[in-house]
Amino acid sequence: MEPIYFDHAATTRVLPEAAQAALRAMTEDYGNPSSLYALGTRAAKALADHREAVAQALGCQAGEVIFTSGGTEGDNWAISLAAHLGRHRGKHIITTAVEHAAVLEPCKALEAQGYQVTYLTPGPDGRVKVSDLEAALRPDTVLVSMMLVNNETGAIQPVKEAGQVLKRCRSQALLHTDAIQGFLKIPFTPKALGVDLLTVSGHKIGAMKGSGALYLRAGLRAVPLLRGGGQEKGLRSGTEPTPQIAALAAACTLGKAALEDHQTYLTHLKTYALAAFQKAVPGLVVVAAGDAPHICAISLPGYPSQVVVRWLSDQGFCLSAGSACHRGQASHVYAAMGLSKPVRDGMLRVSFGPENTQEEVDRLAQALGTATQVLLPAGR
pTM: 0.95
Instruction: Using the predicted structure, report yes or no on whether residue 246 has a pLDDT greater than 80.
Output: yes
**Cα–Cα separations (whole angstroms), residue 179 to 66, 79, 154, 189, 364:** 15, 14, 12, 10, 29
Average pLDDT, the chain: 95
pLDDT given for residue 377 in this prediction: 75
* DSSP conformation letters of 287-339: EE--SSTTEEEEE-TTS-HHHHHHHHHHTTEE-BSS-GGGTTSPPHHHHHTT-
Instruction: Using the predicted structure, report yes or no on whether residue 217 has a pLDDT greater than 60.
Output: yes
Rounded CA separation 231/226 (Å):
9
Q: Rounded to 10 degrees, what is the CA torsion of 290, 10, 162, 120?
A: 90
Q: What is the mean pLDDT of residues 233-254?
A: 97
pLDDT given for residue 108 in this prediction: 98
Which pLDDT tens digit goes with each residue over 175-201?
999 999 999 999 999 999 999 999 999
Rounded CA separation 300/319 (Å):
14
Active-site residue, 296 included: no
Which pLDDT tens digit goes with each residue over 51-96?
999 999 999 999 999 999 999 999 999 999 999 999 999 999 999 9
Rounded CA separation 80/62 (Å):
23
Instruction: Using the predicted structure, report yes or no on whether residue 359 has a pLDDT greater than 90.
Output: yes
Angle between helices 358-374 and 242-280 (to 10 degrees): 60
Which pLDDT tens digit goes with each residue over 6-41?
999 999 999 999 999 999 999 999 999 999 999 999
Across 308-319, b (16+ Cβ under 10 Å) vs e yields: bbebbeeeebeb
Percent of the chain scored above 70 by pLDDT?
Answer: 97
Angle between helices 16-27 and 242-280 (to 10 degrees): 160
pLDDT given for residue 380 in this prediction: 53
Residue 218 confidence class, pLDDT cut points 50, 70, 90: very high
pLDDT given for residue 143 in this prediction: 98
Rounded CA separation 351/232 (Å):
34
For the chain, domains (ranges, CATH) are 4-12+259-374 (3.90.1150.10), 16-255 (3.40.640.10)
pLDDT given for residue 271 in this prediction: 97
Residue 1 confidence class, pLDDT cut points 50, 70, 90: confident
Please identify which of the residues 107, 252, 296, 325 carries the catalytic annotation: 325
Q: Is the dihedral of CA 51, 52, 57, 61 positive or negative?
A: positive
Supply angle C-alpha 129, 132, 138, rounded to 5: 140
pLDDT given for residue 379 in this prediction: 55
Among 155, 90, 108, 91, residue whose Cα is nearest residue 294: 155
Which pLDDT tens digit goes with each residue over 100-113?
999 999 999 999 99
pLDDT given for residue 328 in this prediction: 56
Instruction: Using the predicted structure, report yes or no on whether residue 323 has a pLDDT greater than 60.
Output: no
pLDDT given for residue 367 in this prediction: 98
